[in-house]
Structures are given as C-alpha cells and as structure tokens.
Amino acid sequence: MNRRALAIALALLLAVIGTGAVLAYVSHVNARAIAGLKPVTVLVAQREIPAGTPAGAAWQDGSLREETLPAQSVSPEAISSITADLGSLVMSSDVMPGQVLLRPMLVPVAQVSGGLAIPGSMVAVTIPLCISQAVAGYVHAGSQVAIFDTFSSQSLSSSESCSQSGESHQGQASGTVETRVVLPRVMVLAVGSPGSGQGGSGSGLNAGSQSQGGVLVTLAVDQADAERVIQLTETGLPYLALLTPASQTGFDTGSQPLFQQ
C-alpha cells in the first residue's frame, strides 16, 4: 500500500514539474513574440525634406512627426526624438515622405557639398542600376549595402538595359563565370531616378538605365573604392545587397566559380 501511494505521489510530482516546464516555455515564447510587437516611437518624414535641412528645423516646422511602429519592423538606427546634439545636424540627402529618419542620414552641416552631405574625407560616386539589382527599390539614403560583380574568365557582355518592370537584360557569357563581392559595406547617400537631377553617371551602364526601371544610387567611398566603383560601372555587372548592422560580409578567400558555361 505504501509503495502504491509513493508511486502515485511521484507521478503527481512529475506531472506538476512537467506542467510547470511547459508553462514556463510558453511564457518565454509569448514574451519574445510580444517584444517583437512592442510599439516604438520613431520620427517619420511627413513631406519631402531637402538635403541640408537641419533636423531641429524639420522637427519644428512639422516636416518630421512621431509615429508608433512595431519594434521588429524598425531599424536599430531609427531616431525617436531630436535631441540637443542632433538638432544642429542636417539631412545628408533628400528625405522622402513616409521615410523613417535614421541616424546615418544626419551629418554636420560642414559636410554638405552641392546639396549632398558627404561623410568625412570621403567622396560621392553614383552607380546606375536596374531596380532588380538595387534590392527592388528597398535601398534608400542611409542604407548600408554590399556591392557584387559578375565576371568571366573569357568574355562577358556588360551591356544591359532595364525593362519597365526593373529587370535587367544582359548579354551572353562564355568560360568560367563568377560573382564576387567588390565592396563589403558601403553607405548610400542618395537614391534617384534618371533625369531626376539626383546624382548620375554619364557612361557605362547608365545608357541602359534610362528606362523606367533604372535607378541611380550614390555612394560614400574613399578614393580607392571610388576607382573600383567607377571601373565596375564601366565594365562590370554590379549588384547590390541590402545590409543590416548585424550582416556579415567580406571578401572571398577562394576563387571557385559559382557555375560554368
């Protein structure tokens, strides 16, 4: 009889422990889900804000307004308020209506040149792309991107055109074809369309980007990287990848081809 009572008590104890473990796990999962949906306050442009506009002035005239968004949909670099140290900084490029204000978009006023704010000792270089090569239009001022190039051991036509849907049409390749990273991480200063007056390059792939599917992406780079971007624009097949602060990108150590033709 005592053994039977002991077995029943042990079974009840295990049931209680198991139930507690399940409840703890469910509570943890719910907490993580709620954390992702937790609302955060960010500043969003209500109208187009020209490059060079002080952040403090944009806030005071109503160009910026607080909006509440789910935490999981907001970049860690999103600005929630214009503090004293941010008020004197200016927009590095035009900010479009509905765009969330990110910290990289604000720079000291002394860095604005020709309506475009260029960080530090860097230079601005524009690369023309099709929408499909520019992450379907998700790249904007303040984004961090990696730049890739596709090349061949024998011949690869770099002539291309952009369709109205934003897809690119490329020539034929022969030999071993590879795609490799050219620049692992670069900051985007501005994004515009051909003829919009925002950045631009008069050669290379730009001729093929003059359709409705073309986009001009202006980058902040040093001299060496500017040379790589210009060469890629003239002779290569560029492609962008949108990065987050946690994205890991780097130069490839091997030279194995991705595929053969």
pLDDT digit string, tens, across residues 212-254: 568 999 998 999 999 999 998 888 889 999 988 788 888 876 6
Assess whether pLDDT exceeds 50 at residue 139. Answer: yes
Q: Where in the chain is the domain with CATH 3.90.1210.10?
A: 39-112
pLDDT at 223: 93
pTM as predicted: 0.54
Q: Can you read off the two tokens belonging to residue 201? A: 């390059």
pLDDT at 250: 85
The amino acid that residue 52 corresponds to is: G
Assess whether pLDDT exceeds 70 at residue 65. Answer: yes
Assess whether pLDDT exceeds 50 at residue 203. Answer: no
Higher pLDDT, 95 or 116: 95
The CATH classification of domain 39-112, taken from the options 3.40.50.720, 3.90.550.10, 3.90.1210.10, 3.10.20.30: 3.90.1210.10
Q: Which is it for the CA torsion 197, 198, 201, 204, positive or negative?
A: negative
Q: How far apart are CA 37 and CA 32, in angstroms?
A: 9
Q: Which CA distances in Å does 75 have to 48, 103, 106, 207, 247?
A: 20, 10, 15, 34, 13
pLDDT at 241: 94
State phi, psi for 109 to the nearest 5 degrees: -60, -30
Higher pLDDT, 190 or 169: 190
